[in-house]
């Protein structure tokens, strides 16, 4: 299976919308779900921090990962944006075929 899911947290809805739109327009992602108002707790620069963020769930193929990382980094406001890719190990075959057909 070549399909992957990528998680990216964004600072706000505007940033999330811009990144999501660009990924789909450029056929790097078949679909991006935008989950608003998530609470993130993390350690940064030696202290515990927490933020309200927006989570992107990006469906694509492994071959596009480096291009997705490059695009996200170029549009993102964070110094070190969260960009985590996970393999899809199974799923509804027609949906997985749709991902394959939707990306370049």
Structure confidence by residue, pLDDT tens digits, 50-97:
999 999 999 999 999 999 999 999 999 999 999 999 999 999 999 999
Number of structural domains, the chain?
A: 1
Domain around 90: 3-102
Q: What pLDDT is stored for residue 1 in this prediction?
A: 76
Q: What is the pLDDT of residues 28-55, one digit of tens each?
A: 999 999 999 999 999 999 999 999 999 9
Q: What pLDDT is stored for residue 63 in this prediction?
A: 97
pTM here?
Answer: 0.95
What rounded mean pLDDT belongs to the chain?
97
The CATH number for 74's domain is: 3.30.70.120
13-25 vs 65-75: helix crossing angle, rounded to 10:
140
Strands (E), 12-94: 31-44, 47-61, 83-87
- Report residue 89 as tokens: 């190990």
């Amino acid at each position: 299976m070549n399909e992957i899911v990528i998680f990216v947290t964004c600072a706000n809805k505007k940033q999330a919308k811009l990144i999501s739109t660009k990924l789909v327009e450029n056929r790097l992602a078949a679909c991006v779900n935008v989950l608003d108002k998530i609470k993130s707790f993390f350690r940064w620069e030696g202290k515990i921090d927490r933020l309200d963020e927006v989570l992107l769930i990006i469906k694509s193929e492994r071959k596009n990962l480096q291009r997705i990382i490059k695009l996200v980094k170029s549009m993102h406001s964070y110094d070190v944006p969260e960009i985590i890719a996970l393999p899809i190990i199974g799923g509804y075959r027609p949906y997985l075929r749709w991902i394959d057909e939707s990306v370049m």
